[in-house]
Amino acid sequence: MGDSLTRLLFLSDYNTRVVVAGTLLFGAGAGLVGTFLLLRRRALLTDALAHATLPGIVLAFMLFAALEGGGKRLPILLVGAALSALVGMLAVVLIRRFSRLADDAALGIVLSVFFGLGMALLGMATRMETGHAAGLSSFIYGKTASMLLFDAVLIGVVALAVVLGCLLLYKEFTLLCFDSDYAAAQGWPVLLLDILLMFLVVTVTVIGLSAVGLILVVAMLVIPPSAARFWTHRLSRTLMISAAVGALSGGLGAGASALAQDLPAGAIIVLVAAALFGFSLLFGTERGLVKRAREAARLRRRIEEQHLLRAVYELLEGGKLGSAPNFPDYPLMFPPSTPKLGADPNFPGQEGVPISALLEARSWHPRQLRRAMRRATGRGLIAVLPGDACTLTTEGWNEARRVVRNHRLWELFLITHADIAPAQVDRDADRIEHVLDPDMIRKLEALLPAQTAGIPASAHELAGRGGAS
Amino acid sequence: MQWMALDTWIVVVGALCAMSCALLGNYLVLRRMSMMGDAISHAVLPGLAAAYLLTGSRDSVTMFAGAAVVGVLTALLVQGLYRLGRLEEGAAMGVVFTSLFALGLILLRQAADHVDLDPGCVLYGAVELSPLDTIRLWGWDVPRAAIVNGATLACNALFVLLFYKELRLSSFDPALATALGINAQVMHYLLMTLVAATAVAAFESVGSILVIAMLIVPPATAYLLTRRLGVMIGLSLVLAALSALLGHLSAITVPGWFGFSDTSTAAMMAVAAGAIFSVACFAKSCYAWGRRGIERMSFSLRSVGEDVLAALYRRREAGDEAPVSAGALRAALARPGWTALALWDLARRRAVTRLPGGYALTPAGLRQAEELVRSHRLWETFLVNIAGQSPADAHGSAMRVEHVIDAAMQSELARQTGFPELDPHAKPIPRGSSSGGEP
Amino acid sequence: MNAAVPLHISDLTVAYHRKPVLWDVNIALPEGKLVGLVGPNGSGKSTLLKSVLGLVPRSSGRILVYGKPATRNRALVGYVPQRETVDWDFPVSALDVVVMGLYREIGWCVPVRRRQKEKALAALETVGLAEYAHRQISQLSGGQQQRVFLARALVQDARLYLMDEPFAGVDAATEQAIIALLLELRAAGRTVLVVHHDIQTVPTYFDHVVLLNMRVVAQGPTEDVFTEENLRRTYGGKLTLLSDAAEALARRGAQRG
């Protein structure tokens, strides 16, 4: 075992080296073609095509076994596979054209019936005296170990041709997948392009059969591009990453299956791809779950903080200082030299608000409130006063004014421009206000010309005092 | 060919299994989730393998538990990737089932040391051997597979019967189902669980090819042939059983034609289902074409006849009441084909009579011709006055439309054009018999 | 035919599933005008544009663009499809989409070069989106997406533009931007056929109107044609008899264009 591992790591075995290289190239080709296939929304077509290759493989084998006595020559089998995949595709098109069945049913019918036919033929072929039909089943689960040197080279060369084809037709395929109507309007032969794409798909599927097997070859066209979508929003990079994921899983998988001869190679290759997919799903820099969860958490924290600031502000506003005439016009720029409250006797937040009142003002859980307060205190927006009360610091005051202003502008907009009853407004405003950017605020101000400066009064009864009075 | 009790049992096992799959498959096809059946029947593999590895036993309860867990897991993962990962549904399915199947293959290979289960068996099963493994039941030697599959069929039938209207509603309109308090999500996962359990029950006896084929093909065939859900379900069951019978028959006969002894029965059952589908699809297309062709021909014949009547009427209107020869009529028509046949038909219906100099309208024919010309001229008036066409364009259109205007449309046309006396070409519009509604 | 007429449609009939959507349509557009194509839902407006572009099969009729069959004069036609027709999650940037307008000019298998990118960037600048050139298209607002589509048509430098509801679901700023653009196109002598939904704005936006409801109800200069009488005929519901007749014909399989 140890010996074979080192042999593998250094790819000292020429045969292994070629097989790994061939599978690697196949993975890259499948990743490229698969990207376009996925964008054309035909991901599962490959599954049907791959299953439909079986009758062709077995028929080619039987024919040549009968003619020359030994039919297990890869190129011949692959030609048979490709022809039968094309017949399968034609069947899908015919079913779609001549029946009112949906796409999925057409795919399922072709997949199962062709595969059944292939198995039935295989059942006969294994009872043939000539040839070694038993080896045919390696096309079902894939077996890199049984690959001859010539086979690996063949696969590599064809895969390289597929890669080149994809690169040459990059622009055309992009247009086809993005907006086929526009392509047709510009005079591109959309049908021909579709046929070319499907031709590449069939080619890559067929060369993948001997490495991955026909049940799992669809994985190599679907998993790499799906993984790539988590990393980028650009097509060129999607293609590169998808090809890389495909190549990596092909190469690694083929290498690993050289180690574990008794495990089906296709399964190993697909599991490597699945692992890479899982990693991308979690850590992808563009759509990865971790990134999105962190963004969501950040937004939630910001919303909590803004709710807290607004609640404190509104309680202050509604308290005894609410009647103070200078309250709304208190300068936005509090002197920065005042580090803490207390220095300025005019500061309206001198008294602070009891936490119990805060709890009542919004329907939050005590733990949630405590967490938000701890965070806001840490950021220097809120100061805790003795006697279970808290108040805004200078920065907190400025921030609260900004938040409250946005909230009320949005409320006013909803009432005056969107015809929503004032009682409902609070909830609607709550959701949007947190994502208002300066541009939108300017627009709001323009829409509500009376409100360019200062903080508009709340449009509805505030919870803190409304209930009391 | 020799038919033995063994063969009967093989067909019974195959049919039970096919029917239990087809029953659920109806809902997969209707919900456009056929490929979900494919995905789940692949994905149960790791569930099976894990159940073997964990318990070390092959008893049915563990297997069903493993399959149910994986079935729901597959459905959940596909939904999760679709929602959270924003992957297209097909791609999500592709990712999930291939990964699970690959995992299952590896696990199976690990388990292979303990249990006799190889991947080949998973694909095409061993329905040929199923009659050998029997259980004694009420004095009968019943194959175990028949009991397992029969129980699954009963289970599925119970599910479909109990939730018939819920399933129907959530298949056609999930939003409405939810609004009515039926949880479409729960129905979805229940269905997926049952599909997985059915797949497991079928695995051992017939393999996964037949599961996928029977989930999709008989219901799809039935869907082609009927538009009613109840009929579709019944038909799919019949077709599934028929596929099993035909499949086994052909498995032991067809290879003989090519010099082979026999082949996999399960695979041939799938092929038989496919053959039935092709025949149904072809026959339906032929029937539709044929019917359309006959309809079109009879309509053409009627149109020519009506054109003849209108031509006779126009001559009469111009003051020429003499009989008209067939040749002159043919020259007067825009589409003279079949004039002779049309004349014969009109004479048969006593709309025209044959006089020494040619043909003339009978009183009945005259009434019919008046209706026709009335439709024609009303339509022209409508096009010109209401739809803003030029009078020249309107005539061509009216030549075609006059043949399809029925009494209701004619009176509606008259009402909308204000019961005119003259058409845009200043020709009088005849009073129709059914147009007594004029104020 | 007259090579100075940007678009000449005669006797066009288009049927979906044998049911006519357009029926004996005759249209001739004057050059250098902004033309509004107006009609109720399902009156065949989009189908008309698509049949000009050869995207839907037609049962009969002839379509000439500057005197030649439309399919042979495609380079002269710029097309702005409805925004909903594409998947905006597609991994391309605004610039990539605009460059697509030049693909035909670039030709088979040749990659996009810097010169074409600059041209596309200039087109984006015209619609006021230069700063968003490298944004992925899903990160643009609806109005901005619409403007990207406009830029893609602009970059083609066509003589006849066909726009399918460019004003649908856009904000006021985009609507103004589109109008400014249309005026610019007209000043440059281009002809623009715009499918339009909002009857209120027709007289202010368009010089020429085609009222469509399966057939052309009226066409001509806005001040002559855009009358209450014609609108009533287009929208009044009386024309349902047209589709009734069409359906009856389709049922009998007698529709021969």
Domain boundaries, chain A: 2-287, 294-466
Residue B240 in tokens: 């599934």
Q: How far apart are CA C39 and CA C34, in angstroms?
A: 16
Q: Do B300 and C218 touch (CB under 8 A)?
A: no
Q: What is the mean pLDDT of chain B?
A: 84
Q: How far apart are CA C223 and CA B164, in angstroms?
A: 61
Chain C residues with CB inside 8 Å of B385's CB?
A: none
Whether residue C77 lies inside any domain: the answer is yes
Cβ of residue B295 closer than 8 Å to a chain C Cβ: yes
Residue A438 in tokens: 């300066």
What DSSP assignment string belongs to A198-251?
Answer: HHHHHHHHHHHHHHH-TTTHHHHHHHHHHHHTTT-S-HHHHHHHHHHHHHHHHH
What is the pLDDT, as a whole number, of residue A348?
56
Q: Do A182 and C79 touch (CB under 8 A)?
A: yes
Cβ of residue B253 closer than 8 Å to a chain A Cβ: no
Mutate to test the interface with C, among B296, B401, B406, B409 (most CBs of C within 10 A): B401
Given a cut of 80, is residue B158 above it in pLDDT?
yes
Q: What is the complex's ipTM, to 2 decimals? A: 0.90
Percent of chain A predicted with pLDDT > 70: 78
Give the nearest partner residue to C90 out of A169, A178, A182, using CB atoms. A178
Residue C93 forms beta bridges with which residues? C136
What is the pLDDT, as a whole number, of residue A450?
62
What is the pLDDT, as a whole number, of residue B99?
93
Whether residue C99 lies inside any domain: the answer is no
What domains appear along chain B, each with residue ranges and CATH number? Answer: 5-263 (1.10.3470.10)
What is the pLDDT, as a whole number, of residue C163?
94
Neighbours of chain A (3+ CB pairs under 8 A): B, C
Whether residue C95 lies inside any domain: the answer is no
* Contacts of B338 by beta carbon, 8 Å cutoff, 6+ apart: B300, B301, B304
Cβ of residue A12 closer than 8 Å to a chain B Cβ: no
pLDDT per position as a tens digit, C152-163: 999 988 999 999
Q: Do C254 and B303 touch (CB under 8 A)?
A: yes
Mean pLDDT value across residues B304-319: 86
Task: Pick C96 or A310 by higher pLDDT.
Answer: C96
Mean pLDDT value across residues A83-101: 91
Mean pLDDT value across residues B49-55: 80
Given a cut of 90, is residue C239 above it in pLDDT?
no
Given a cut of 50, is residue A369 above it in pLDDT?
yes
Q: How many domains would you assign to chain C?
A: 1
Residue owning tokens 């076994």:
A65
What is the pLDDT, as a whole number, of residue C210?
93
Domain that holds residue C66: 7-86+160-251
Given a cut of 90, is residue B361 above it in pLDDT?
no
Residues 286 to 305 of A: which have CB under 8 A from any C CB? none
Give the domain A2-287 fold.
Answer: ABC transporter involved in vitamin B12 uptake, BtuC (1.10.3470)
Q: What confidence tier does A18 reach under pLDDT thresholds 50, 70, 90? A: confident
pLDDT per position as a tens digit, C1-40: 577 889 999 889 888 776 778 888 889 999 999 999 998 8
Q: Do B270 and A267 touch (CB under 8 A)?
A: no
pLDDT per position as a tens digit, B54-111: 877 666 677 788 888 888 899 899 989 988 888 888 899 999 999 999 998 888 877 7
Closest CA–CA distance from residue C58 to any residue of chain B (Å)? 17
Residues 71 to 90 of B: which have CB under 8 A from any A CB? 81, 84-88, 90
pLDDT per position as a tens digit, B256-303: 787 777 788 888 999 999 999 999 999 998 998 898 888 888 888 888
- Can A2-287 and A294-466 be said to share one CATH topology? no
Closest CA–CA distance from residue C225 to any residue of chain A (Å)? 30
Q: What is the mean pLDDT of chain C?
A: 87
Whether residue C47 lies inside any domain: the answer is yes
Q: Do A105 and B224 touch (CB under 8 A)?
A: no
CATH at C169:
3.40.50.300
What is the pLDDT, as a whole number, of residue C254?
46
Given a cut of 50, is residue B177 above it in pLDDT?
yes
Helix (H, G, I), strand (E, B) or coil at C62: strand
Mutate to test the interface with C, among A180, A233, A295 (most CBs of C within 10 A): A233
Q: Do B388 and C249 touch (CB under 8 A)?
A: no
pLDDT per position as a tens digit, B193-229: 899 888 888 877 778 888 899 999 999 999 999 988 9
Neighbours of chain B (3+ CB pairs under 8 A): A, C
What is the pLDDT, as a whole number, of residue A168?
94
Domain at A294-466, CATH from 1.10.10.10, 3.30.70.100, 1.10.167.10, 3.40.190.10? 1.10.10.10
Given a cut of 90, is residue C191 above it in pLDDT?
yes
Given a cut of 80, is residue A130 above it in pLDDT?
no
Cβ of residue C104 closer than 8 Å to a chain A Cβ: yes
Give the nearest partner residue to B124 out of A41, A104, A119, using CB atoms. A119
- A-C CB pairs within 8 A amount to 74
Residue B142 forms beta bridges with which residues? B135
CA A124 vs. chain centroid, Å, equals 45
Residue owning tokens 């017949």:
A87
Type of residue numbered A72: K
Given a cut of 80, is residue A228 above it in pLDDT?
yes
Type of residue numbered B152: T
- Radius of gyration of chain C measured on its C-alpha atoms: 19
Cβ of residue A184 closer than 8 Å to a chain C Cβ: yes
What is the pLDDT, as a whole number, of residue A420?
61
Whether residue C187 lies inside any domain: the answer is yes
* Contacts of C239 by beta carbon, 8 Å cutoff, 6+ apart: B386, B387, C213, C214, C215, C217, C233
CB burial class (10 A; 0-12, 13-18, 19+) of residue A153?
Answer: middle
Least confident of A170-184, B177-191, B382-396: B382-396
Residues B60-92 as b/e (b if ≥16 CB within 10 A, e otherwise) read: eebbbbbbbbbbbbbbebbbbbbeebebbbbbb
What is the pLDDT, as a whole number, of residue A189?
92
CB burial class (10 A; 0-12, 13-18, 19+) of residue A105?
Answer: buried
State the CB neighbour count (10 A cutoff) for residue A127: 14
The DSSP bridge pattern shows strands A353-354 and A389-392 to be antiparallel
What is the pLDDT, as a whole number, of residue A134?
64
Q: Do A271 and B220 touch (CB under 8 A)?
A: no
Given a cut of 70, is residue A1 above it in pLDDT?
no
What is the pLDDT, as a whole number, of residue A469?
31
What is the pLDDT, as a whole number, of residue A329?
41
State the CB neighbour count (10 A cutoff) for residue B426: 8
Q: What confidence tier does A385 reach under pLDDT thresholds 50, 70, 90? A: confident
Q: What confidence tier does A327 reach under pLDDT thresholds 50, 70, 90? A: very low
Given a cut of 60, is residue A452 above it in pLDDT?
no
Cα nearest neighbour of C214 on chain B: B387
